[in-house]
Amino acid sequence: MDFMATPVIRLYVDDSWNPHVRRMGCGAVLRDDSNNWKSATSVSFDHGTAFLAEITDVELGMQHSHDLGYKNIVCASDCNRLVTFLSSGSDTNTFWDRESIRRVLALMTTFQSCYVVHIARERNNTADTLAREAARLGSPVQTWSTPPSFVAAAMFLDDST
């Protein structure tokens, strides 16, 4: 299939830690080239580090993109360290999160094209809102084919910056 004939999906990912309930949350939003909502997913978990949460939200979003049949993605994260690591082909052997990183690197190879780019935190409000809500509620994996009402203000902020 011709690359130009296959849509490019933009995957926005973020994580959140809620210290009051001691939970992390991950959020991933899929938008098309016209910035239209395609889908989103989120999940919470009780353990980990900031970097593990970042790599987990990338894995969550990429797996969701793959499950929906998208072949070309641009994954946007506001974590410079993660973007640099995934883009550089760094050695994972010394990382304590190496299994999670290896899963993401393997998942990246299942796409026709897959790029990881940095996005300003101010332009990633929707994924952040999904992650914060998942952490607050302690929710299992949730998926939305249309935007839930609680992300409306965040979508407006992302669209206006």
Cα-only R_g, the chain: 15
Sign for the pseudo-dihedral over CA of 158, 159, 160, 161 = positive
Q: In Å, how far from its chain's centre is CA 84?
A: 15
- Domain of 57, CATH number, reads 3.30.420.10
Residue 24 CB partners (closer than 8 Å, separation 6+): 15, 16, 17, 18, 44, 45, 46, 47, 48, 53, 135
Per the structure, the count of domains in the chain is 1
In order along its 161 residues, the chain shows pLDDT tens digits of: 444 557 899 999 999 888 888 889 999 999 998 889 999 999 998 877 777 888 899 999 999 999 999 999 999 999 888 888 888 766 666 666 778 888 998 999 999 999 999 999 999 999 999 999 999 999 899 999 999 999 999 999 988 86
User: Which residues constitute the domain of residue 13?
Assistant: 3-160
**Pairwise CA distance, residues 105 & 101, whole Å:** 6
Longest dimension (CA), the chain: 49
- pLDDT for 3: 47
d(C-alpha 53, C-alpha 15), whole Å = 6
- Asked if 58 and 75 touch (Cβ cutoff 8 Å), the reply is yes
Q: Name every residue whose Cβ is closer than 8 Å to that of residue 160 and which is 6 or more positions away in sequence.
A: none
Q: What is the pLDDT of residues 11-45, one digit of tens each?
A: 999 998 888 888 899 999 999 988 899 999 999 98
